[in-house]
Amino acid sequence: METVLSGIRPTGNLHLGNYFGAVQSFVKLQDAYQCFFFIADWHSLTTHPRPENIRQSVKTILAEYLACGIDPEKATIYVQSDVIQVAELYLYLNMNAYLGELERVTSFKEKVRKQPDNINAGLLTYPSLMAADILIHKANKVPVGKDQEQNMEMARKFARRFNTIYNVAYFPEPESFHLSDKALKVPGLDGSGKMGKSEGNAIYLIDDEQTIQKKVMKAVTDAGPTHPNSEKPEAVANLFALMEIVSSQDTCRYFNEKYNTCEIRYGDMKKQLAEDINAFCTPIRKKILEITADTTYLDQVARRGAQKATESAAQTIREVREIIGFRP
């Protein structure tokens, strides 16, 4: 059976972009594939978080994964730093990763521009750690957003290179995976671009009803269309795009018609959108709160995940050591 794997860095709460762009597909895939979903806490060290922040964010993401419907009976859910074999594979991959190619990665260049005071080796070798995450379970399919395409290219390159150097057909070349034919981009409601934590425009799954209502009512729009069937400016198109994601087809059709006949009242549309987002988020929020309070359960899930992921990783490392010429 093919193996699916993906990870999310624990850098805060999950938002609608994370859910519809990534976590929703994890939930769907767990019924059909052998799945590994992990919390990429080693990756988050590039920004030097405090120990108490790491502990808190790992717990938060774990609870949110579970509340979204990732089922520890079906998928292996684990914390990256619990599986030390990943670090060993990272070391091996780094020996065949070259400075030039690592320096050319767009997200690295961006970090160099954004945080010139902290250009550490972890940032530079982010693609080899990500490749180790994937190759340690010999994953075939990796559900990630478009922004991860270059890292995926690197993972394939490192897999191929290992196979070539040792003249083996050992690692499969992992491919990105999207549920639909196009990667989904959840827009922000601030006029342009995507929803994101660092964009400061996110609606979080944990947000309460008033917070969500306030955020949606503040969404950027315009004065309204003046000609029938006119094209929507980006901010308005984003509002509609979000509605497509969370509301019923009838609702979307209704407001599209109102737009096309120039009768739209954005206030009404936003009220409906806020209601539909709340209908989606409220049950998840309740579950997040419930699961977060159950520390014993969270520990148990993490422990069980660590055990299952370690078994799979240890097998790979045994074989890799043998291929390289070490004692297995």
Q: What is the DSSP secondary structure assignment for residue 204, as one 8-state letter?
A: B
Among ligand ADP, ligand TRP, none, partner that 142 touches (CB below 5 to 8 angstroms by kind): ligand TRP
Among ligand ADP, ligand TRP, none, partner that 247 touches (CB below 5 to 8 angstroms by kind): none
Q: How far is CA 254 from CA 240, 250, 251, 264, in A?
A: 11, 6, 5, 10
Rounded CA-CA distance 62/65 in Å is 5
Q: Can you point out the beta strands (E) in 207-292?
A: none
**Number of amino acids touching ligand TRP (CB under 6 A):** 14
Which residues, in sequence order, are CB contacts of 82 under 8 Å at separation 6+? 302, 305, 306, 309, 310
Which residues, in sequence order, are CB contacts of 143 under 8 Å at separation 6+? 4, 6, 22, 25, 26, 29, 176, 177, 178, 179
**311's tokens:** 């078994």
Out of 148, 201, 278, 292, point to the residue binding ligand TRP (CB under 6 A): 148
- Whether residue 28 lies in the annotated active site: no
Footprint of ligand ADP on 177-236 (CB under 6 A): 184-186, 194-198
Which residues, in sequence order, are CB contacts of 234 under 8 Å at separation 6+? 191, 192
Q: Which is nearer to ligand ADP, 113 or 327 (CB)?
A: 113
Tokens 């009838």, located at residue:
250
- Whether residue 197 lies in the annotated active site: yes
Q: Which residues of 180-217 are buried (b: 16+ CB within 10 A; e: fewer)?
A: eeebbbbbbbbbeebbbbeeebbbbbbbeeeebbebbe
Among ligand ADP, ligand TRP, none, partner that 44 touches (CB below 5 to 8 angstroms by kind): none
Q: Is 142 in the site for ligand TRP (CB under 6 A)?
A: yes
Out of 21, 72, 174, 305, point to the residue binding ligand ADP (CB under 6 A): 21
Q: Is 291 in the site for ligand ADP (CB under 6 A)?
A: no
Out of 70, 75, 134, 273, point to the residue binding ligand TRP (CB under 6 A): 134
- Whether residue 185 lies in the annotated active site: no
Q: Is 39 in the site for ligand TRP (CB under 6 A)?
A: no
Q: Residues in the site for ligand TRP, rule: CB under 6 A?
A: 5-9, 40, 43, 130, 133-134, 142, 144, 148, 151
Q: Residues in the site for ligand ADP, rule: CB under 6 A?
A: 8-9, 17-18, 21-22, 144-145, 147, 184-186, 194-198
- Catalytic residue set: 111, 194, 197
